[in-house]
């Protein structure tokens, strides 16, 4: 398998991220939403202990996946993760998550939380494999083409897993 590089996102990645976003998500983020979710893209300096940033995964200098997060004091929210269709099932999502967990430990964060559509069983399995557990359910939270569906809230308590 070819080498995978994971590094911090920068503005030159935006176009490739947007293309993947439109391919893999039913409700893709707009260019503006992506820009606003990363301080180094929006040019905004967040106040105090707030940080919005992300990682990209590259194969042969090509962006094949990304992960965005928002960190507020000791709490990290995973706001978006995606891997391009042709590269799914090759552990890239898992490696992006591991990068976030390593960052969380390095910054003495207490937990990582996220929200996922109840029908997204692939992503839920990925999160469970890393140690996330379901903490809550928001009924009928997301719109779908046929109505609405629940949001599953999941949390990874960092003190409860082994780093490595």
Ligand X SMILES: CC(C)(COP(=O)(O)OP(=O)(O)OC[C@H]1O[C@@H](n2cnc3c(N)ncnc32)[C@H](O)[C@@H]1OP(=O)(O)O)[C@@H](O)C(=O)NCCC(=O)NCCS
Is 100 a binding residue for ligand X by CB under 6 A? The answer is: no
Catalytic-role residue among 127, 141, 142, 149: 127
Please, which residue, 122 or 143, has the CB nearer to ligand X?
Answer: 122
Distance of CA 125 to the CA centre of its chain: 14
Dihedral, CA atoms, 145, 138, 83, 129, nearest 10 degrees? -140
User: What would the two tokens of residue 130 be?
Assistant: 């890393």
Sole binder of ligand X in the list 94, 107, 133, 138 (CB under 6 A): 94
Residue 122 is a binding residue for ligand X (CB under 6 A): yes
Report whether 94 contacts 131 (CB < 8 A).
Answer: no
Smallest gap from Cβ 8 to ligand X, in A, equals 18
Is residue 21 among the annotated active site residues? no
Beta-bridged to residue 148, according to DSSP, are 143
| Smallest gap from residue 95 Cβ to ligand X (A) | 7
119 binds ligand X (CB under 6 A): no
Establish if 34 lies at the interface with ligand X (CB under 6 A).
no
Q: Which of 75, 77, 115, 149 is catalytic?
A: 115
Q: Is 127 a catalytic residue?
A: yes
Residue 1 CA to residue 12 CA, distance in Å, equals 26
Instruction: Please name the residue ranges forming H helices in 38-116.
Output: 39-42, 92-106
Q: Rg of the chain's alpha carbons, rounded to an integer?
A: 15
User: Is there a contact between 52 and 40 (Cβ–Cβ < 8 Å)?
Assistant: no
Establish if 88 lies at the interface with ligand X (CB under 6 A). Answer: yes
Nearer to ligand X by C-beta: 35 or 88?
88
**What CA–CA distance (Å, rounded) separates 148 from 151?**
10
Residues near ligand X, by CB under 6 A: 24-25, 81-83, 88-94, 116, 120, 122-123, 125-126, 129
Residue positions annotated with a catalytic role: 115, 127
């Amino acid at each position: 398998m070819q080498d995978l590089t994971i590094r911090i996102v920068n503005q030159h990645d935006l176009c490739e991220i947007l293309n993947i976003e439109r391919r893999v998500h039913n409700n893709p983020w707009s260019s503006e939403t992506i820009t606003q979710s990363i301080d180094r893209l929006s040019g905004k300096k967040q106040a105090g202990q707030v940080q919005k940033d992300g990682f990209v995964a590259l194969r042969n200098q090509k962006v094949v996946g990304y992960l965005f997060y928002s960190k507020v004091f000791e709490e990290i929210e995973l706001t978006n993760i995606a891997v391009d269709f042709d590269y799914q099932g090759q552990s890239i999502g898992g490696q992006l998550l591991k990068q976030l967990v390593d960052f969380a430990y390095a910054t003495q964060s207490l937990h990582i939380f996220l929200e996922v559509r109840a029908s997204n069983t692939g992503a839920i399995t990925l999160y469970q494999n890393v140690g996330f557990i379901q903490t809550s359910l928001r009924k009928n939270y997301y719109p779908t083409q046929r109505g609405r569906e629940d949001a599953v809230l999941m949390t990874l308590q960092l003190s409860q897993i082994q780093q490595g």
